[in-house]
Amino acid sequence: MTRVEVDRDRCISSGVCEHLAPEAFELDDDGVLQLLPAEPDPAVVAEAVRACPSGALTLADRAH
């Protein structure tokens, strides 16, 4: 499966990822991005990573 990594220094809490894939991403009450435990559609997650305006999201293949 694919795994998403967040660069906290780059994230601007734009919410674009949550807009595209609310099952995978959520901004908490402090506006900090949380990755949700669900296993969403990889294509949707890939689109969210591509669309992230701050370039804070990257896809990483999980080793196991």
Partner 1 sequence: MSAPAVPSGTDFGISIDDVDLSDRTFWAQPPEVKHAVLDLLRAESPFAYFAEPVIPYLPVGPGYRAVTRYADLEAISCRPDLFSSGAGAVSIQDMPPDLNEFYGSLISMDDPRHAKIRRIVAKAFTPKILQGLVGSVQAVAEDVVAHARRTAAEGDGTIDVVADIAAPVPLRVICDLMGVPEEDRAMVLQQSNVILSGGDPELIESEDNAVAAFLQAGELLAGLMTRMAVERRARPTEDLTTALVNAEVDGERLTDQEIASFFILLLVAGNETTRNAISQGVLALSEHPDQRDRWAADPGLDRTAVEEIVRWTSPITWMRRTSTQEVELSGQTFPAGTKFLLFYAAANRDPAVFADPHRFNLGRDPNPHVGFGSKGPHFCLGAHLARREIAVTFRTLFEHLPDLEVVGPPDRLQSSFVNGLKRLPARLAR
Interacting residue ranges for partner 1, rule: CB under 8 A: 9-10, 12-16, 18-19, 22, 26-27, 29-31, 47, 51-55
Q: Give min distance, CB of 15 to partner 1, in A.
A: 5
Note whether 17 and 25 are within 8 A (CB). yes
Closer of 5 and 34 to partner 1 (Cβ) = 34
CB atoms within 10 A of CB 46: 15
* Min dist. Cβ of residue 48 to partner 1 (A): 12
21 CA to centre of own chain: 8
